[in-house]
């Protein structure tokens, strides 16, 4: 109740809430493809790899979005290049390149700015969201949703059956880099809400929750977006009421939702599965 009144009262809280809801939504949508393609680690990598881009953007006084997308996509391309052209496995290539980009980013930020800024970039500071940031997030959200809708068939097919996609003349690589670009944009949008370190949680946890609840990709995407938004609202409520770090609180809420699905999903939940198994045994022993 107090939370609702505060929202009506404080503009900064409205912006915070609105921004985190949009972030929750688009993280869920993109995250669905990330987990289905087995690219969770890639999600973590890209989110860390935007740091040098953010630092560069500060240095040159341009919008941090541009630099972030640049270094994010560059790292994605670099990872692809190293793993395809050497005997280094994909996860190792990811590990090497994203930590180096991140390390470079930390050095650059500490050279350019105070450590407070680094702290905010790493862990988010949703209550300090400015109007311009909010609109960048909304813009990114719009681009992401429209792109996923427009290329839904192609995203589904290249994720499910890349061989057939290629036989249909689809360029799997192009779709991959399209997704990497969207992923980078989503990461940038999430910087202020949950921060670099926890973005990956917003990408994969709501999507994984949805994955346990449905056998249809379209429904999974809606559910994942829904869980992302729900986590943002509940998380922000607890964060405001008990004065907790907002990003971390949102992530904890998302995780609680995940474990509820993990236990109680009608089809894939641990509890129902064991009940069904027991029923079967009882039935047969009669």
Partner 1 sequence: MESVISVRELHVSYFGNEVVRDVSFDVEVGSMVGIIGPNGAGKSTLIKSLLGLIPKDKGMVRIFGKETDDVRKKIAYVPQRSMIDWTFPITVMDTVLIGTYPSVGLFKFPKKKEKAWALECLRKVGLEDFRDRQIGELSGGQQQRVFLARALAQKPELLLLDEPFVGIDVASEDTIIRILKELQFQDKTIVVVHHDLSKANAYFDQLLLMNKDLIKFGTVDEVLNREVMSKAYAYQLQFLEKTEVLA
- Distance, in Å, from the CA atom of 283 to the CA atom of 281, rounded to the nearest integer, reads 5
| 3-state secondary structure (DSSP) of residue 181 | helix
* Exposure letters 21-43 (e unless 16+ CB within 10 A, then b): bbbbbbbbbbbbbbbbbebbbbb
- Distance, in Å, from the CA atom of 148 to the CA atom of 34, rounded to the nearest integer, reads 13
Between 24 and 63, how does the x/- string for binding to partner 1 read (CB under 8 A)? ------------x-x-------------------------
Taking the least distance from each CB to partner 1, the nearer of 36 and 82 is 36
Q: Which of 65, 120, 68, 75 is nearest to 100 (CA)?
A: 75
Contact 213, 223 (CB under 8 A): yes
Provide the phi-psi class of 240: left if phi over 0, else alpha when psi is between -120 and 50, else beta.
Answer: alpha
Binds partner 1 (CB under 8 A): choice among 10, 60, 119, 152: 152
How big is the site for partner 1, counted in residues (CB under 8 A)? 24
Whole-number minimum distance, CB 166 to partner 1, in Å? 5
Whole-number minimum distance, CB 153 to partner 1, in Å? 5
> Binding of partner 1 at residue 227 (CB under 8 A)?
no
Taking the least distance from each CB to partner 1, the nearer of 167 and 282 is 167
- With CB under 8 A as the contact rule, which of the stretches 156-164, 174-182, 234-242, 250-258 interacts with partner 1? 156-164
> Binding of partner 1 at residue 283 (CB under 8 A)?
no
Contact 68, 184 (CB under 8 A): yes
Q: Which two tokens stand for residue 244?
A: 């907790």
> Binding of partner 1 at residue 261 (CB under 8 A)?
no
Residues near partner 1 (CB under 8 A): 36, 38, 150, 152-154, 156-157, 159-161, 163-164, 166-169, 211, 214-217, 219-220
């Amino acid at each position: 109740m107090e939370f609702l009144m505060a929202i009506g009262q404080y503009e900064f809280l409205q912006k915070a809430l609105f921004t985190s809801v949009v972030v929750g939504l688009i993280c869920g949508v993109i995250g669905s493809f990330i987990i289905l393609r087995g690219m969770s680690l890639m999600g973590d990598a890209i989110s860390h790899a935007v740091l040098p881009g953010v630092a560069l953007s500060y240095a040159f006084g341009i919008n941090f979005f541009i630099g972030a997308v640049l270094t994010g996509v560059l790292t994605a391309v670099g990872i692809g290049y190293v793993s395809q052209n050497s005997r280094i496995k994909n996860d190792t290539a990811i590990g090497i390149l994203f930590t180096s980009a991140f390390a470079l980013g930390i050095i650059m930020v500490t050279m350019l700015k105070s450590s407070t800024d680094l702290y905010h970039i790493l862990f988010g500071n949703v209550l300090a969201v400015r109007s311009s940031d909010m609109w960048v997030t909304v813009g990114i959200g719009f681009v992401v949703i429209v792109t996923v809708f427009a290329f839904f068939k192609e995203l589904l097919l290249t994720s499910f059956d890349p061989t057939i996609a290629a036989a249909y003349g689809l360029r799997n690589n192009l779709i991959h880099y399209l997704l990497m670009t969207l992923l980078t944009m989503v990461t940038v949008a999430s910087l202020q809400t949950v921060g670099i370190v926890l973005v990956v949680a917003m990408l994969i946890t709501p999507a994984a929750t949805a994955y346990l609840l449905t056998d249809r990709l379209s429904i999974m995407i809606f559910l994942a977006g829904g869980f992302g938004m729900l986590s943002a609202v509940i998380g922000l409520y607890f964060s405001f009421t008990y004065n907790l770090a907002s990003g971390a609180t949102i992530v904890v809420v998302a995780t609680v939702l995940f474990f509820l699905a993990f236990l109680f999903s009608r089809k894939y939940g641990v509890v129902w599965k064991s009940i069904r198994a027991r029923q079967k045994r009882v039935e047969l022993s009669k």
